Amino acid sequence: MNIKLKIWRQPNAKSKGRFETYPLNDVSSEMSFLEMLDYLNNSLIKDGKEPVAFEHDCREGICGSCGMYISGRPHGPQHRTTTCELRMREFKDGQTITIEPWRAAAFPVIKDLIVDRNAFDKIMQSGGFISINAGAAQDANSILVPKKNADEAFDSASCVGCGACVAACKNSSAMLFISAKVTHLAQFPQGRIEAEIRVKNMVAKMDELGFGGCTNTRACEAECPKGISISNIAKLNREFFVAKLKD
Amino acid sequence: MNGIFSSSLGKKLIMSITGLFLMIFLLVHLTVNLMLLFGDGKLFNFAANFMATNQLIEVVEPVLAIGFIVHIIYASIITLLNQRTRPMGYIQTSSNGVTSWASKNMYILGGAIFIFLVIHLINFFWKIKFGEVATLSYDNGLTQMADTYSLVSGLFITYWWYDLIYIAGALLLGFHLSHGFWSAFQTLGWNNKIWIKRLEIIAYIYAIIIAIGFTIIPLYFLILK
Ligand code: HEM
Ligand code: SF4
Ligand code: FES
C-alpha cells in the first residue's frame, strides 16, 4: 500500500515545530506501525535527512513508551492496542495518516514525537510504592490476599504508564493513571499501611505538575491500551476523600 | 478536611454535592409545576401558596441560592484551570465512540442554563416574591391567596417565543443532567464496574423526566389554550 504521512517535526524542546508531509510507497499491511516508521526513517536517512524521533522499547505492548497521537486518537484507531501492536492493515491504501506527539503542558515535547513523561515518575516517587525492609523472600502464604483483591490489583497493575489517558483527556488529567496505581497498591495488606498518605501525595503531585482535573468524560478509559476502567477513579476518589476527612 | 478544597478532587466534590442538591430541587420544582396541568388552577395555586408560606422553604431558599452560586463559581474555576493544561492542541481528533457530547460541553450547557435561569427569575420569581400578583379567594372567601396560576399561564399563553425559551431551557437541563447525574456519583466515589451501567441508565431516565416534564407545561398552554 501507498500512504502519506503528516508528522510533527520539532528539532528540540525549545524550537517551534511544524508538520512535514512524507509520501511512503510499498508499505506492507503486515508491518507494525513502528516498522512502518522504521521504513520511513531508512528512506529519510538514505536521502540525507534527519529521521523522525519516536520512543519505543519492548515493541510488544508492555513498556508503554511508544505513545503517539495517530489519526486523531492516542495509539491509533484500534481499541486496546499500543502503537507498537498496531498493524498497517488498520489503514487504507492512499490514506493520509497524521502523527502528533502527546499534547499536554505536563508532557513537553523533547523531539519530534517524543515527549517528556517524567511527570509520571515524579507522581510515582511521591507515593506509588510500598515501603518494606527488603530481606529474604518470605513464605508465599504468610500474607493472605483474597482472590477478588488479587484480581483487581492485577487488572490495575496492567497500566504501562504510556500516558494515553492524559493525551486523550480534554483536561490532560492523569486521574486514570493515578487511580490504577492507587487501586493496585490499596488491594494488598502491605499496601494499606500507606494507603492514605499515598493517595494524598499522589493527587497533590498531579495537581502541582500541571495535569488537569477529571470531568468524567471517559475518554481515558476509551483510549487506554490496557483497558483500565474509570471505576478505579471512583475508588481513587473514595480513598482520597476518606483520607482527607481525617486531616 | 485541611486543604481539601484546594485540590482538584476537592473542587470537583463541591460540583458534585451542589449538583446533587440542585437535582433534588429540580424534582420538587417539577412536581409543583406539573400541577399547572390539572384543573382550573386551584391545585397549582394551593401548591404555590404552600411553597411560598412554608417555613422550611424559607430556610431552604437561601441555601438553594448559595448552591447555585457555588456551583457556578466552581464550574468557572474548574473550567479555567482545566483549559490551561493543553497549551497546544491536536490538529486532528477523532471520536472514540464513548465520550458523550454533553460531558465535554458541561460549561457551555451550564452557561446557557444560567442565561435561562436569569430570564426565569426575572419573569416569575421576582414578580411572585416582590411584585404585584392579583389575589384570589377560594372556599367562599375563606381562603385568600396569590393567583400565581394566572401569572404563569398568562405568560405561556400570550407569548409563544416565551414557550420556546422554556422548552430550550428544559432540553439544556436534560443534556446537562444526562451526564451530570451519574458523574456526580462517580465524583463522590459511589461507583464501580457494575453500578456505572445502572447509574448511566438512571441518569438518562432522570434527564428525560426533567426535559419532558418541563417541556410539556409550556406546550400544554401553547397548544391547548
Ligand atoms: C439546576 C441547574 C443545575 C443542575 C441540577 C446541575 C447539576 C450538575 C451536576 C449533577 C453535575 C455533575 C457534578 C460532577 O460531575 O461531579 C454538574 C456539573 C457541572 N455543571 Fe451543573 N448544574 C446546574 C446548573 C449549572 C450552571 C448554571 C452552570 C454554569 C456554568 C453549570 C456548570 C457545570 C459544569 C461546568 C459542570 C462540570 C464540572 C466538571 O465536571 O468539571 N451547571 N452540574
Ligand atoms: S491508565 Fe492506561 S492509558 Fe493511562 S498510562 Fe496507564 S496504560 Fe496508559
Ligand atoms: S514499544 Fe513498548 S509498549 Fe509499545
pLDDT tens digits for range A135-188: 888 888 888 999 999 999 999 999 999 999 999 999 999 999 999 999 999 999
pLDDT exceeds cutoff 80 at A131: yes
Q: Please give the residue of chain B at the shortest CA–CA distance from A240.
A: B9
| pLDDT recorded at residue B139 | 80
Ligand 1 proximity of B78 Cβ (cutoff 6 Å): yes
Domains of chain A with bracketed CATH: 3-111 (3.10.20.30), 118-245 (1.10.1060.10)
For chain B, the domain total comes to 1
Average pLDDT over residues A54-74: 98
Q: Which among A173, A206, A213 has CB closest to B11?
A: A213
Contact indicator for A103, B90 with CB cutoff of 8 Å: yes
pLDDT exceeds cutoff 80 at A204: yes
List A98's β-bridge partners, or say none: A6
pLDDT exceeds cutoff 80 at A85: yes
Contact indicator for B72, B116 with CB cutoff of 8 Å: no
| pLDDT recorded at residue B160 | 92
A222 in contact with B at a CB cutoff of 8 Å? yes
Give the distance from residue A72's alpha carbon to the nearest chain B alpha carbon, in angstroms. 4
| pLDDT recorded at residue A99 | 98
CATH at B27 = 1.20.1300.10
pLDDT exceeds cutoff 80 at B192: yes
3-state secondary structure of A111: strand
Q: How far lies B21's CA from each of B66, B70, B180, B184, in Å?
A: 11, 12, 12, 10
Ligand 2 atom at minimum distance from A160 CA: 7
pLDDT exceeds cutoff 90 at B199: yes
**Can you give the residue range of the structural domain that contains B57?**
2-224
| pLDDT recorded at residue B140 | 80
pLDDT digits (tens, 9 = 90+) for B119-158: 999 988 888 878 778 888 888 877 888 899 999 999 999 9
Average pLDDT over residues B32-48: 93
Q: What kind and span of H or E run contains A70? A: strand A69-70
The position carrying cell 524521533 is: A53
- Average the pLDDT over each of B9-23, B24-38, B113-127 and give the range with the smallest value: B113-127
Q: How far is the CA of A75 from the centre of ligand 3 (A)?
A: 10
State the pairing for strand pair B143-146/B135-138.
Answer: antiparallel
Contact indicator for B81, A215 with CB cutoff of 8 Å: no
Q: How far is the CA of B10 from the centre of ligand 1 (A)?
A: 15
3-state secondary structure of A153: helix
Closest residue by CA, ligand 3 atom 1: A59
CA B68, B72, B74, B77: dihedral to nearest 10 degrees?
A: -170
CA atoms within 13 A on the CB side of A107: 33
Average pLDDT over residues A198-214: 97
Give the distance from residue A181's alpha carbon to the nearest chain B alpha carbon, in angstroms. 16
For residue A167, give the nearest of A157, A159, A177 by alpha carbon: A177
ipTM for the whole complex: 0.94
Q: Please give the residue of chain A at the shortest CA–CA distance from B193.
A: A231
- Which pLDDT band holds residue B193 (cuts at 50, 70, 90)? very high
Average pLDDT over residues A194-222: 97
Amino acid at B55: Q
| pLDDT recorded at residue B153 | 92
Ligand 2 proximity of A162 Cβ (cutoff 6 Å): yes
Mean residue pLDDT across chain B? 94
Average pLDDT over residues A47-52: 97
Determine if the pTM surpasses 0.90.
yes
A32 in contact with B at a CB cutoff of 8 Å? no
Measured CA to CA, the distance from residue B37 to residue B199 in angstroms comes to: 30
